[in-house]
Structure 1
Amino acid sequence: MILKGKPVTPSFRTSPEEWSREEWAKLRTKGFTSVPEEIKEEFRNDKEDLSFEAETIAKSCGIYLEFNRDRFRRDGVKEFIYMIRIVVPGGGPITARQWKILDEISDQYTISDAYTGEPKPSLRLTTRQDVQLHHVRKRDLLDAIREIAKSGFFTLNGCGDNVRNVVACPLSSFSKIFNANSLAKSIASYFRLPTGPYLEIFEIDPAGITERGTERFNYSENLLNRKFKIAVSGLHELNGKILRDNCVEVRTNDIGIVPVDGRKFQIYVGGGQGEKQGISTFSCLGRPLGIFSEEELMRALHALVEVQQEWGDRKNRQWARMKYLVHSLGIGWFQEQLKVRGISFEPPDEELDVGPRMLHLGRIEMGIEGYGLFIENGRVIDREGMMYKTMLRDLADSYPGVKFFITPNQHLLITDVDDVKELERFMRNYLKRTPSKLRTMSIACVGFPTCKLSFTESERFLPNLMSKLEQEWGDMEETIGVSGCLAQCSRPGTKTIGWIGTGYNLYMLKIGGDAEGRNQGGPLVDPETGETYLTHVPGERVADVTQALFQLYRDLAPPELRRPGGMGPFLRSLGNKRIIEYLKADPRTRDLMRSTIKAEVKT
């Protein structure tokens, strides 16, 4: 495969002589069945950071070593801080008691002025339905994780080269047809790492730990080749109609599971959004592999993860995800791998529609009393006019039977309330601003100041971008995604308009996705010359490009596409050539279209 003029040459079934240094670090855990004493000691010593080996192993415990990027840019000093990721399979439920425990932990360990300009604690909801704690100091790591365990949640499998938190449609808990949430919990339990070393490192009392199921996947001594993501989409019935629900964006995962009818499942393999600057990598959606019965589904998942563990690249981490196996060896090869393991399945349905990306905001109309709460960029914090954190704590106190579910779009479902109208009145005491449609449909990853992979702002950038756009375009029912780097945790490439950090205060446009999440977008490439436009747009000019694209849609879209979510299909039908011509002529963007990057793309 040739990408961007450079070869993509993964080292499949990598021999130990070529293993990366991460592989040797993971090997010391013997499949996470034990952790060396000197590594355990690193979590307790006075040094603010961790060694490479300890940092690598800590990721499987849901811990990322980070540093305050704001301070580093200001005075060149690395102020080491940590992110803790709490695993919540399927996004919940989180009971009122559990929420209060996590809220108290954030009050004690996450105080920072990074998000409001004054020191405040926060919780961060993620696209993988995790809860993240940011700005934690090393001296507090052990206490924080011990207290998290009291809630019944773990941080194990939160990060690292293993199966990560399994995501699922949270509303499916109430579906009469198919409970994706329950299936996600079973999958997560099966692929959970051994808990013994985790309990030892953080001195967690095993007496209060309950395990779901006894059978577990057997990880190799150096675990998986890279992180591994699994998602399960939803299936609902409303007014006698069957609705598919792709709130999880199922095809962006290594493995995506789509219920055909609640008893049969189509599996997609090889999705992934992460890329790496300067290296031949790509974002893509998963390809249909086959249709599996309920009885064969878990066996198929086991086999697919086993194939990835055996074959995936252990030399070049940028080519270690399953998508490189799929795109190099093909779907037929994967199907043969399952057949030789005795797993039966039907041919895939290439025309199966996975459904639209539902956001589940506002009153829930699926036969339950519930409400989908918009939380801007998933940051549960108190701001002027939007007292999210206080409100949710008071809600948990006032409604002890309430349950929360994290959505894959960083919002919260509030369920198990007797009267939604009363709930809405309660929330209005804390939430004084009504966000625009454009704001509620848009999304950003964390970015600066905590994520050390990030090139630039994302969570702190998007609200300002919205403020520039809302006066004229606030009623647009389209989605904008912003990511601080090419890891693309907010999946901007599947949105109507995507912006990806390529340098400090510089962003690349991705186009071709849509509000419904059915399509994979990419850079703005001229199909005739191979030139790529708008790869390093200054942050203060992102609004100019976005407004020009909105204007293009308003001026030229045919009547049948002048509807909510119609902009993505319109831009795809128009084609990059005409979009480039329009942006070259528009006075807002003309100067930005003068420089390009030329790339040859062949597959």
Structure 2
Amino acid sequence: MIIPINPNFKTKPEEYSEEEKIKLMTKGLTQDSLGIYNSLSDLTKDDIEKEISQIVKSFGIYLEFNRDKMKFDRVKDWIYMIRVAIPGGGPISSDQWRILDEVANKYTVSNAYTGYPQPSLKLTTRQDVQFHNVKKKDLVNAIRDIVQSKFYTLNGCGDNVRNTISCPISSYYGFDINRLAKKIAEYFRLPSKLYIQVFELDPNISSELENRESFQYSDNLLPRKFKIAIAGIIKINGSYVIDNCVEVRANDIGIVPVIEEGKIEGYQIYVGGSMGENNSYPTFSALALPIGTVSEEELVRVLDAIVRIQQEWGDRKNRHWARLKYLVYKMGVEWIREKVKEYSGIELGEIKDIDLSFKELHLGWIKLGDKWGYGIFIENGRVIDGKNGKVKSMIRYIVDNYYDVKLFITPNQHLIITQIDQREEFEKIFKEFGYGIRDGKAYSKLRINSIACVGFPTCKLSFTDSERFLPSLIDELERRGFSNVSASVGISGCVAQCSRPATHPISWVGSGYELYMLKIGGSNDHIGEPLIDWEENVIYLYQVPSKRLADVTEALLQLYEKNKDLGKDAGEVFRKLGNKKIIEYLKSHEKTRDLMKPHKFDTKIEGYREYHELLKQRINEVIKFKQG
């Protein structure tokens, strides 16, 4: 029997999950009643208690273990990941990058199992910096060193508002979206007293982290993680366009500027986006829905109201149904609008039609005022010296020799260097460090547009490889002649889908060790879904072996090339073809027919069936509140 999606909204304290009870013990992350300081200081063991591992996520720390070593040696080699929150992706000064680079050099030393032969930094889709393979003995010192950069790991992970992301370079076009991201991040920053105490930081930094109007977190924080993104504005051929590089609707709250005659006249709010799923329960990935418009003066009050609604109403019994999307899709757009008015005193304006289909990766040379910027392609966000050139050494050389440059992390895991005067000098630097070339050839269009999360061996949630696998998959697809196809591949090691793979036309989500489920039909403002035959109630290509992903991807790219006139992008082409035709095609293709065996996966199918039913209702509500 299938369990319906039935969240326990406004959960009674006696029904709280164990995770909620643990969070309560810290009184909103203000008291060390669990002994966090003593646990991190105890070097007689390499791990920390389960309860403490949950709490220190809000300090930007994940307890992990080396998945490869576990596979071969059957022992858990405990390691830590540290995540640094950088609102809006920057700016990062030369001095700040040097500090972060040195943290990588000192504390992320690799070993034979990690797959990374040197220290590295990882840039994320949330414009964070991550450090992997940190040992417990180095954990506190690494945090202290990071704080010297004036960036912090607070809010890096955990059940709170995470790093606020935005278009990194809209300020160069006269729209300071980056400043707005910082303002929002500061408002939702967690209390810092316990953070300073646990890591024995300089108490004076409390003046940077506190003494401000801020969101009042409850004693058990939020029911789950909460993500906010702001779309940007850039100029193309003399016209301003909305740049949806953040994939704004994939977030709990999306904020989109409303432009009129070259000025921002307000912001449209979207709520209820999230990629994460759970295989054991009916769940779904969803895009945020528009609920109305606000002025800039009203914006933070409205955001506060939405987060408070989630804090008070979100499911605290079932973590798989605890994200805002379940509240939005179950209760509806009208209910959310009414609650926003109740909590903030602000009545949202009408819903506007805004085109969110344009997404700029911000790569290559960009004219920014009277200077230049250059977007460096960082494959899957891993800043390292490797097959794509000595990228880590190149960036370090630049910040050591060009003090005035500013760096920005993009929401697609790349790095922009701005304030460049000497374009020709930088071209020489790129060439000297081997940037732009892989195996003697320029980076292909397919490689540049594709993306992966970390996956094995460090992420403990992952079922399989992601970051380490995608480059070899692209290598193989390039050998098969698909270097410059106008499509992309997204890949994630698990159903959390941190790399937002389902916003790509072809996406692969880890479903077991070296096994992947296909999601098809995604694009910048649409979400890809499993290949479900709704009449037969089965999923196809749920567990495709890694060695066969190239065959399926090749077949799908061929299908797209044959039908590209059906839509403006590959995702639209696949959506117009529909699952039935795609299934028939793959059953007849010589390279995929043996893989086309139906899989009965009731929880996955029922989750998406309910999503579609709820989506129809919510769309009708959106129409009701639209302009005109």
What is the TM-score when the length of structure 2 is the normalising length?
0.92
Task: Please tell me whether residue 380 in structure 1 is matched to residue 383 in structure 2.
Answer: yes
Question: What secondary structure is seen at the aligned counterpart in 1 of 2:35?
Answer: helix
* Alpha-carbon distance between aligned partners in 2 of 1:575 and 1:50, rounded to the nearest angstrom: 48
Q: What displacement does 1:40 show?
A: 1.5
- Aligned residue for 1:477? 486
- Aligned residue for 1:437? 445
Please tell me the residue identity of whatever aligns with 1:458: S
- Aligned residue for 1:18? 15
* Alpha-carbon distance between aligned partners in 2 of 1:94 and 1:198, rounded to the nearest angstrom: 23
* 1:117-516 mapped onto 2 (5 Å cutoff): 117=115, 119-176=117-174, 178-208=175-205, 210-211=208-209, 214-261=212-259, 262-341=264-343, 342-349=345-352, 351-367=353-369, 368-384=371-387, 386-432=389-435, 433=437, 434-471=442-479, 472-514=481-523
User: Is the 2:68–2:457 contact (alpha carbons within 8 Å) kept by the matching residues of 1?
Assistant: yes
* Alpha-carbon distance between aligned partners in 2 of 1:518 and 1:390, rounded to the nearest angstrom: 36
* Alpha-carbon distance between aligned partners in 2 of 1:212 and 1:478, rounded to the nearest angstrom: 45
* Alpha-carbon distance between aligned partners in 2 of 1:127 and 1:572, rounded to the nearest angstrom: 25
Q: What displacement does 1:385 show?
A: 5.3
* Alpha-carbon distance between aligned partners in 1 of 2:205 and 2:433, rounded to the nearest angstrom: 35
* Alpha-carbon distance between aligned partners in 2 of 1:234 and 1:189, rounded to the nearest angstrom: 19
Please tell me the residue identity of whatever aligns with 2:596: M
Please tell me the residue identity of whatever aligns with 1:36: S
- Aligned residue for 2:84? 86
User: Is the 2:502–2:522 contact (alpha carbons within 8 Å) kept by the matching residues of 1?
Assistant: yes
* Alpha-carbon distance between aligned partners in 1 of 2:114 and 2:5, rounded to the nearest angstrom: 43
Which of 539, 542, 555 aligns to 2:549? It is 542
Q: What displacement does 1:207 show?
A: 2.6
Question: What secondary structure is seen at the aligned counterpart in 2 of 1:263?
Answer: strand
Please tell me the residue identity of whatever aligns with 2:552: V
Task: Please tell me whether residue 523 in structure 1 is matched to residue 530 in structure 2.
Answer: yes
Please tell me the residue identity of whatever aligns with 1:507: Y
Please tell me the residue identity of whatever aligns with 1:10: P
* Alpha-carbon distance between aligned partners in 1 of 2:413 and 2:338, rounded to the nearest angstrom: 38
Q: What displacement does 1:400 show?
A: 0.8
Q: What displacement does 1:103 show?
A: 0.6
* Alpha-carbon distance between aligned partners in 2 of 1:443 and 1:140, rounded to the nearest angstrom: 30
Q: What displacement does 1:343 show?
A: 1.0
- Aligned residue for 2:587? 584
Q: 1:39 to 1:118 in 2, by over 3 A?
A: closer
* Alpha-carbon distance between aligned partners in 1 of 2:148 and 2:217, rounded to the nearest angstrom: 27
* Alpha-carbon distance between aligned partners in 2 of 1:189 and 1:453, rounded to the nearest angstrom: 29
User: Is the 1:94–1:403 contact (alpha carbons within 8 Å) kept by the matching residues of 2?
Assistant: yes
Using the TM superposition, name which of 384-393 and 290-299 deviates more. 384-393
Question: What secondary structure is seen at the aligned counterpart in 2 of 1:154?
Answer: coil
* 1:549-560 mapped onto 2 (5 Å cutoff): 549-558=556-565
Q: What displacement does 1:428 show?
A: 1.4
Identity rate, percent: 54
Q: 1:239 to 1:213 in 2, by over 3 A?
A: farther
* Alpha-carbon distance between aligned partners in 1 of 2:67 and 2:169, rounded to the nearest angstrom: 37
User: Is the 1:189–1:213 contact (alpha carbons within 8 Å) kept by the matching residues of 2?
Assistant: no
Please tell me the residue identity of whatever aligns with 2:229: A
Q: 1:519 to 1:118 in 2, by over 3 A?
A: closer
Using the TM superposition, name which of 390-399 and 549-558 deviates more. 549-558
* Alpha-carbon distance between aligned partners in 2 of 1:596 and 1:440, rounded to the nearest angstrom: 33
User: Is the 1:116–1:383 contact (alpha carbons within 8 Å) kept by the matching residues of 2?
Assistant: no
User: Is the 1:190–1:213 contact (alpha carbons within 8 Å) kept by the matching residues of 2?
Assistant: no
Using the TM superposition, name which of 398-407 and 549-558 deviates more. 549-558
User: Is the 1:115–1:460 contact (alpha carbons within 8 Å) kept by the matching residues of 2?
Assistant: no
Using the TM superposition, name which of 127-136 and 31-40 deviates more. 31-40
User: Is the 2:337–2:348 contact (alpha carbons within 8 Å) kept by the matching residues of 1?
Assistant: no
Q: 1:114 to 1:228 in 2, by over 3 A?
A: farther
* 1:19-34 mapped onto 2 (5 Å cutoff): 19-34=16-31
* Alpha-carbon distance between aligned partners in 1 of 2:530 and 2:422, rounded to the nearest angstrom: 46
Please tell me the residue identity of whatever aligns with 1:202: F
User: Is the 1:272–1:323 contact (alpha carbons within 8 Å) kept by the matching residues of 2?
Assistant: yes
Q: What displacement does 1:477 show?
A: 2.6
Q: Deviations over 1:426-453 (max 9, x none)?
A: 1111125121110011000000000000
Q: What displacement does 1:277 show?
A: 1.2
Using the TM superposition, name which of 361-370 and 401-410 deviates more. 361-370
Q: What displacement does 1:474 show?
A: 0.4
Q: What displacement does 1:212 show?
A: 7.8
Please tell me the residue identity of whatever aligns with 2:77: E
* Alpha-carbon distance between aligned partners in 2 of 1:318 and 1:325, rounded to the nearest angstrom: 12
- Aligned residue for 2:599? 596
Please tell me the residue identity of whatever aligns with 1:312: G
Using the TM superposition, name which of 21-30 and 134-143 deviates more. 21-30
Q: 1:385 to 1:359 in 2, by over 3 A?
A: closer
Question: What secondary structure is seen at the aligned counterpart in 1 of 2:224?
Answer: coil
User: Is the 2:25–2:34 contact (alpha carbons within 8 Å) kept by the matching residues of 1?
Assistant: no
Please tell me the residue identity of whatever aligns with 1:166: T
Question: What secondary structure is seen at the aligned counterpart in 1 of 2:494?
Answer: coil
Please tell me the residue identity of whatever aligns with 1:589: T
* Alpha-carbon distance between aligned partners in 2 of 1:414 and 1:371, rounded to the nearest angstrom: 5
Q: What displacement does 1:211 show?
A: 4.0
Q: What displacement does 1:117 show?
A: 4.9
5+ residue gaps, structure 1: none
Q: 1:369 to 1:449 in 2, by over 3 A?
A: same
5+ residue gaps, structure 2: 614-628
* Alpha-carbon distance between aligned partners in 2 of 1:410 and 1:22, rounded to the nearest angstrom: 31
CA RMSD of aligned residues (A): 1.6
Q: What displacement does 1:595 show?
A: 3.1
Q: What displacement does 1:263 show?
A: 3.0
Q: Deviations over 1:245-297 (max 9, x none)?
A: 00000000000000012230000000000001121110010000110111111
* Alpha-carbon distance between aligned partners in 2 of 1:476 and 1:279, rounded to the nearest angstrom: 36
Please tell me the residue identity of whatever aligns with 1:596: H
Q: What displacement does 1:527 show?
A: 3.4
User: Is the 1:257–1:268 contact (alpha carbons within 8 Å) kept by the matching residues of 2?
Assistant: yes
Q: Deviations over 1:493-524 (max 9, x none)?
A: 1101000000000000001112xx11111001
* Alpha-carbon distance between aligned partners in 2 of 1:292 and 1:452, rounded to the nearest angstrom: 40
- Aligned residue for 2:33? 36
Q: What displacement does 1:16 show?
A: 1.1
Q: 1:268 to 1:115 in 2, by over 3 A?
A: farther
Q: What displacement does 1:213 show?
A: 6.7
* Alpha-carbon distance between aligned partners in 2 of 1:553 and 1:395, rounded to the nearest angstrom: 41
* Alpha-carbon distance between aligned partners in 1 of 2:82 and 2:302, rounded to the nearest angstrom: 31
User: Is the 1:243–1:355 contact (alpha carbons within 8 Å) kept by the matching residues of 2?
Assistant: no
Question: What secondary structure is seen at the aligned counterpart in 2 of 1:340?
Answer: helix
User: Is the 2:114–2:458 contact (alpha carbons within 8 Å) kept by the matching residues of 1?
Assistant: no
* Alpha-carbon distance between aligned partners in 2 of 1:241 and 1:566, rounded to the nearest angstrom: 22
- Aligned residue for 2:109? 111
Q: 1:117 to 1:289 in 2, by over 3 A?
A: closer
Using the TM superposition, name which of 571-580 and 429-438 deviates more. 429-438
Ranges of 4+ aligned residues in structure 1 off by more than 3 Å: 113-119, 365-368
Q: What displacement does 1:30 show?
A: 0.9
